Amino acid sequence: MLKVCFTQLIRTRNMSIFIQCLNPLIGTVNWEEKDENYDYHQEVARSAFADMLHDHERNQKYYLALKAAIEKKHKDGEEANVLDIGTGTGLLSMMAARCGADSITACEAFTPMAKCAIKIIQENGFEDKIKLIHKRSTRMTIGKDGDMIKKANILVTEVFDTELIGEGALSTFRHAHENLLEENSIVIPHSATIWVQVVESPTVCSWNTVHPIQNKSKYLLSTPCSVKSCSGAAAVHDIQLTQFPDNAFKPLLPPQPIFRFDLSGKSTLLYNEKKCLHIKPTTSGTAHAIFMWWDLVMDVNNEVLLSSAPVWEHPDTKILQNKGLSLQEIADVIPWRDHWMQAIYYLPVETLVTVNKEVSLIGYHDEYSLWFQLINESINEAPDCERPVCSCNVHVAYCRTRIGQLNDHIRNEKYIKALEKEVTPDTVCLCLSDGSLLSLAAIQLGAKKIFILETNFLSRKCIEMFVKTNELSERVEIVESVNDLPPENAINLIFGEPYFITSIVPWENLYFWYLVSRYSPQIQRIPIAATIMGVIVEFKDLHKIRAPLGICEDFDLSIFDKLIQTSSDKSDSSVEAQPLWEYPAKALSLPFVIKKFDLTQNVNESENINISESVPILTSGMCNGVALWVDWQLNSEITVSSGPTVEVQFGKRISWDPFTRQGVHLFKDITQVTQQSTVLWSFSFVPRYGNITFDFRILSKNMK
pLDDT at res. 333:
87
pLDDT confidence tier of residue 97, bands split at 50, 70 and 90: very high
Output the CA torsion sign for 237, 240, 241, 245: negative
pLDDT at res. 42:
59
In the chain, the percentage of residues whose pLDDT exceeds 90 is: 81
Region 329-335: mean pLDDT is 88
For residues 181 and 420, give the distance between their C-alpha atoms in angstroms, rounded to a whole number: 70
pLDDT at res. 30:
65
Whether 71 is a known active-site residue: answer no
Region 150-160: mean pLDDT is 97
Domains of the chain with bracketed CATH:
53-188 (3.40.50.150), 192-392 (2.70.160.11), 407-502 (3.40.50.150), 529-699 (2.70.160.11)
pLDDT confidence tier of residue 47, bands split at 50, 70 and 90: low
Phi-psi region for residue 118, left (φ > 0), alpha (ψ -120 to 50) or beta? alpha
Region 315-343: mean pLDDT is 90
List pLDDT tens digits, range 440-496.
Answer: 999 999 999 999 999 999 999 999 999 999 999 999 999 999 999 999 999 999 999
pLDDT value at 76 more than 60: yes
Contact predicate 326/222, CB 8 Å: no
Region 696-703: mean pLDDT is 77
For residues 248 and 244, give the distance between their C-alpha atoms in angstroms, rounded to a whole number: 7
Question: Which residue in the list 57, 78, 167, 350 is annotated as catalytic?
Answer: 167
pLDDT at res. 235:
83
pLDDT confidence tier of residue 48, bands split at 50, 70 and 90: low
Determine how β-strand 493-495 pairs with β-strand 592-598.
Answer: unpaired
Region 350-378: mean pLDDT is 96
For residues 96 and 75, give the distance between their C-alpha atoms in angstroms, rounded to a whole number: 16
pLDDT at res. 15:
46
pLDDT at res. 32:
57
pLDDT confidence tier of residue 234, bands split at 50, 70 and 90: confident
Region 236-251: mean pLDDT is 94
pLDDT at res. 238:
95
pLDDT confidence tier of residue 536, bands split at 50, 70 and 90: very high
In the chain, the percentage of residues whose pLDDT exceeds 70 is: 93
List pLDDT tens digits, range 373-408.
Answer: 999 999 988 899 989 899 999 999 999 999 999 999
pLDDT value at 651 more than 90: yes
pLDDT value at 24 more than 70: yes
pLDDT at res. 11:
43
Region 316-324: mean pLDDT is 90
pLDDT at res. 46:
59
pLDDT at res. 43:
63
pLDDT confidence tier of residue 502, bands split at 50, 70 and 90: very high
Buried/exposed 374-396: b ≥16 CB within 10 Å, e otherwise: beeeeeeebeeeeebebebbbbb
pLDDT at res. 35:
54
pLDDT at res. 8:
47
List pLDDT tens digits, range 248-277.
Answer: 999 999 999 999 999 999 999 999 999 999
pLDDT value at 133 more than 70: yes
pLDDT at res. 571:
66
Question: Which residue in the list 158, 454, 497, 538 is annotated as catalytic?
Answer: 158
List pLDDT tens digits, range 170-181.
Answer: 999 999 999 999
- Nearest CA-CA partner of 180 in 133, 129, 116, 113: 133
pLDDT value at 324 more than 60: yes
pLDDT value at 38 more than 50: no
pLDDT at res. 49:
59
What residue type is assigned to position 587 of the chain?
A
3-state secondary structure of 601: coil
More confident residue, 388 or 629: 629
Contact predicate 2/508, CB 8 Å: yes
Beta-bridge mates of residue 185: none
pLDDT value at 90 more than 90: yes
pLDDT confidence tier of residue 7, bands split at 50, 70 and 90: very low
Write phi, then psi, for 624 (nearest 5 degrees): -130, 0
Count of alpha carbons within 13 Å of 114, Cβ hemisphere only? 15
pLDDT at res. 14:
47
Task: Determine the Cα angle at 118 with ends 115 and 122, to 5°.
Answer: 145
Average pLDDT of every residue of the chain: 92
Instruction: Enter the pTM of the model.
Output: 0.92
Which residues have C-beta within 8 Å of that of residue 156, sequence separation ≥ 6? 62, 65, 66, 69, 82, 83, 84, 85, 92, 96, 188
Region 561-589: mean pLDDT is 89
pLDDT at res. 21:
72
Whether 167 is a known active-site residue: answer yes
- Nearest CA-CA partner of 237 in 397, 344, 342, 394: 344
pLDDT value at 652 more than 80: yes
